[in-house]
């Protein structure tokens, strides 16, 4: 099988062809030739699209799929298709299923379900048994079976000693520990950012302090234990400052932010639309600006969709009763591309997350495996419900003008086009 990509602008700082417009010939899953012009042949599959750009394949570090247990929200097969058409060649899948992914066999189940897919599925196994935060799960066994990191999705580890032991133990096999940034005692029963909007709307607030206290605790523990810590989905200006200071100290700390926290504020809550109910909650304009600055400066390492499909029975209800979570794969790129320059954030989709989670990154260089995303960063569109590919439709970007278009991917010797 041979695929010829014509007139593509290559976006890959590690490639000798960075920012150059080239033809790319892929044969048997490898980048055989990259040149100014490659002649078309009858047996080639030709990809020739308006303002075509290609980069290393995108990697989403926080994707929730319903299966096993919540197939009505999203099956693994459907989720993989959504990821491919959204530009992702690799995804890290969270452990928030039923049963929780907390054993070797659970990890192997996920990997086997994705075999022969164009998408590389990498499980994030639970840090604690059944994600209850009481006893540590069998981390080493799960890593040997293919788990790339360990975390209880959207659940903080409240037991300080348990977190300390996890950071110490994981060092024995270079394991990556995730810690969700929320202090439940401070957050209480809050459902929205504590501030002017929550007060006006009569919604119980979650103060930023709940995030800051948890991050500060984790950083103190990391400084004591050593090891690798990743803090997923930060949401405040102070969190950026705390992590910036920790990095200056030389701590092995990384963090991510969601596409919706980079683009939306708690002003959206005036509609009481439960699609804007997220965990952590949407914050203020000042927080959004600080998060965007954190991407540009390199303090924030990763942008994730934090894709979490929720079925209509649990989402289209009163705001206070609705489950947290948004579908985000389809909009991750086009949302961020609407507020940031491509060169400021593309590494947060590609080389940075792969390096942190130990995933091989294939630069766009002759002889390498073809693992690429195809897109147009310039087009604009109104994102509507009909654009949602996921089984669940809980997107916060419905009817919003977004910038960019994903054309597809080439991965695992398969071309997927929209």
Mean pLDDT score, 328-356:
97
Q: Which of 306, 311, 344, 371 is catalytic?
A: 306
The answer to whether the beta carbons of residues 83 and 91 sit under 8 Å apart is: yes
Q: With cut-offs at 50, 70 and 90, classify the pLDDT of residue 357.
A: very high
Collapsed DSSP state (helix, strand, coil) of residue 398: coil
Q: What is the pLDDT of residues 206-218, one digit of tens each?
A: 999 999 999 999 9
> What's this model's pTM, rounded to 2 decimal places?
0.96
Give 178-204 pLDDT, tens digit per residue.
999 999 999 999 999 999 999 999 999
Which of 323, 319, 328 has the alpha carbon at shortest distance from 273?
319
Give the number of other Cβ atoms within 10 Å of residue 98's Cβ.
9
Whether 306 is a known active-site residue: answer: yes
Helix (H) or strand (E) holding 355: helix 351-357
1 confidence band (pLDDT: 50, 70, 90): confident
Instruction: Round to whole Å and give the CA distance between 206 and 278.
Output: 11
Burial (CB count within 10 angstroms: exposed 0-12, middle 13-18, buried 19+), residue 252:
middle
Do residues 78 and 391 make contact, with C-beta atoms less than 8 angstroms apart?
yes
Domains (range + CATH), the chain:
2-53+366-379+403-417 (2.30.40.10), 57-357 (3.20.20.140)
Q: What SS3 class is residue 43?
A: coil
Strand partners, 33: 25
Question: Mean pLDDT throughout 277-306?
Answer: 98
Residue 231, pLDDT > 90, answer yes
Say yes or no to pLDDT of 42 above 90: no
The percentage of the chain sitting over the pLDDT mark of 70, rounded to a whole number, equals 100
**Helix%, strand%, coil% for the chain, nearest 5:** 30, 25, 45
């Amino acid at each position: 099988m041979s695929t010829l990509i014509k007139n593509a602008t290559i976006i890959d700082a590690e490639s000798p062809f960075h920012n150059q417009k080239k033809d790319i010939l892929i044969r048997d899953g490898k980048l055989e030739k990259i040149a100014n012009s490659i002649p078309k042949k009858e047996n080639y599959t030709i990809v020739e699209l308006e303002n075509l750009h290609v980069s290393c394949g995108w990697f989403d570090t926080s994707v929730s799929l319903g299966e096993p247990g919540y197939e009505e929200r999203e099956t693994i097969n459907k989720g993989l298709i959504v990821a491919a058409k959204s530009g992702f060649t690799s995804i890290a899948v969270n452990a928030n299923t039923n049963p929780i992914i907390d054993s070797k066999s659970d990890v192997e189940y996920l990997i086997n379900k994705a075999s022969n897919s164009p998408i590389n599925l990498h499980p994030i196994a639970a840090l604690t048994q059944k994600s209850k935060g009481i006893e540590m799960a069998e981390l080493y066994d799960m890593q040997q079976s293919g788990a790339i990191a360990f975390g209880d999705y959207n659940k903080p580890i409240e037991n300080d000693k348990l977190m300390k032991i996890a950071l110490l133990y994981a060092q024995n096999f270079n394991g990556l520990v995730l810690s969700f940034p929320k202090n439940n005692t401070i957050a209480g029963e809050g459902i929205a950012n504590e501030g002017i909007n929550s007060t006006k709307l009569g919604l119980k607030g979650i103060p930023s302090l709940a995030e800051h206290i948890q991050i500060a605790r984790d950083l103190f523990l990391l400084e004591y234990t050593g090891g690798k810590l990743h803090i997923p989905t930060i949401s405040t200006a102070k969190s950026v400052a705390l992590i910036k200071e920790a990095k200056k100290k030389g701590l092995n700390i990384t963090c991510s932010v969601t596409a919706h926290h980079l683009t939306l504020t708690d002003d959206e809550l005036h509609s009481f639309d439960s699609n804007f109910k997220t965990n952590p909650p949407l914050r203020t304009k000042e927080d959004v600006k600080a998060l965007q600055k954190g991407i540009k400066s390199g303090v924030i390492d990763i942008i994730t969709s934090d894709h979490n499909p929720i079925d209509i029975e649990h989402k289209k209800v009163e705001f206070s009763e609705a489950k947290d979570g948004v579908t985000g794969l389809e909009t991750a790129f086009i949302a961020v591309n609407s507020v940031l320059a491509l060169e400021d954030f593309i590494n947060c989709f590609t080389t940075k997350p792969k390096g942190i989670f130990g995933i091989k990154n294939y630069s766009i260089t002759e002889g390498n495996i073809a693992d690429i995303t195809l897109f147009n960063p310039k087009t604009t569109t109104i994102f509507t419900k009909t654009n949602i590919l996921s089984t669940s439709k809980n997107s916060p970007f419905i009817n919003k003008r977004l910038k960019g278009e994903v054309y597809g991917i080439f991965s695992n010797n398969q071309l997927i086009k929209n």
